[in-house]
Structure 1
Amino acid sequence: MKHKLYTIQVIPPDSGKTKIYKIHRITWKIFFWLLVIIVLFSLVLAYKMAEINTLIITSKQIKFQNEKLIEKQNEYALYFEQLDSIYSIENKIQNILQTYYENDSNKINSILEKNKFNHISSSKVKLDVEGLEGWQENAQNKDMDKIPNILPVIGIISKKYSEEDTHYGTDFAANQGDPIFATASGSVIFAGSKDDLGLTIILDHGNGYQSSYSHLQRISVRKKAIIKKGEVIGFVGSTGNSTGPHLHYEITLQKQHLDPETLFNE
């Protein structure tokens, strides 16, 4: 039985000799299937390489996300440390307030002296003590609890209320970072920056009275928070249009400005 042969004839473009190649059928089949295998192998290899590249890219993305998560974790750890510090400061302030309520004026004068509040006059300290004691005596009276009649900060009055000068509040000179107290119970209706007034808190006392505290260094309450009389709401600063650390304090009744000093003895 004759084996079939495939003849390939190569004719050169010039008048050269024609070349004839005879390839056995089996050899041709082997060559064909070998070529098919090479093509299939190349396709599989390309697919696997694409998968490997995808895995490498995914691995890099996961690594990047892990680094971001670690950064966030460190930020949260720092945040919780700051919260612990704030809670510690708050406890110290509460202890100071408790001392105000439980001790007499001589004791308070001693505390003020230790804290270098020597610039405060004795009459001013007496006024503050009377305001705090008056609030304590009327703590059961909800109406009195919502009247802003205690000092918002331990300090001296550096500028009085004056409608002629369009100064609709009272300025208290105090040390940077001194605590500021809510002068009556109420809710926070504003806590943020307010143009020339800098960091400002506005409390609504629910009876027509509103009180505002400006030029703060830091605010320690949030909008809509419920505040008790005497609670620390911020700290003295010099933000906004200010020449030094002080508190600008305003009171309105039915949206009409009042001189805050007229309420301190009520």
Structure 2
Amino acid sequence: MGEKKYKYNAQTTTLKPIKNKGLRKIRNLIAFLIVTAFFGIISGFIFSSKFNTPEENTLAAELKEMKFQYELLNKKVKQSQEVLSQIENRDNNIYRSYFELDPIPEDVRKAGFGGVNRYSKFTDWTYGDLVTDVAKNIDILNKQMVIQSKSLDEVVISAKEKDKMLRHLPAIQPVANKDLTRLASGFGMRMHPILKISKMHAGTDFSAHVGTPIYATGDGKVKLSGREGGYGNLVIINHGYGFETLYAHMQKSNVRTGQSVKRGDIIGYVGNTGLSTGPHLHYEIHKDGKPIDPVTYFYQDVSPDEFKILLDKSQQMSVSLD
């Protein structure tokens, strides 16, 4: 250790040790550094939390706006799902029902996505839950739209087929009301005017003047055009879908075998050929090979009141004209 130095104080007549100035400077420096560091840390914390750089402020604003837009997008997606749900309901209960298509089950329409979790990449994101929710709802909406689109494709196909079928159904009278003398006889057991026996009358007789036009009652193809025993001159049309129509006792035919015809085409003219007691058209409808009452298929020509009158008249006759 070095020798201590003393300084004489004349007033107190005492000696005081002289302190080392270098050591004091070091102590002062250390104290200054500690205080500076402390205030630096505090200042840095305050400034870093209160005063970001312009770039950081811009990114923070964009992030906030992005969150808002994601929330808005998710809301719009859910609104779209509600609208689609209403369309699905109409599809099942109106469109598919009308065209005799089975409804699409709810579990098929709302089915989720199996296999790998396609949203795992969003797990560690700050707003990962929000992004996952939006992405999942969009995927579900897309799948529902695909299913609905395919359903509407089926409906369109069925509608076209239904329209085709309706055009082929025998749905009008073969003789116009304005040309009718009377509805002579209807469907059922009748007394045959020539054979004088009770016999099944498998059609409806339309009494009209010779030469009155006879119309095809639905689209189809002529199966037979010629003369056939007691029917005289006749035409048989195959309409498809199990339907055939027969037009007998014609004066003459206006079509040939194998010819395609449309509803309303003139296929012949009223006559009195074959086993007939007067000018009339004997008209039959067959479904799957069995005769059915034609009067129930005149829905395009008559009102409900006219239909009742027509039905009553057809059942009043006890004797047919053929």
Which TM-score band (shorter chain)?
A: 0.3 to 0.5
**Highest CA radius of gyration, 1 or 2?**
2
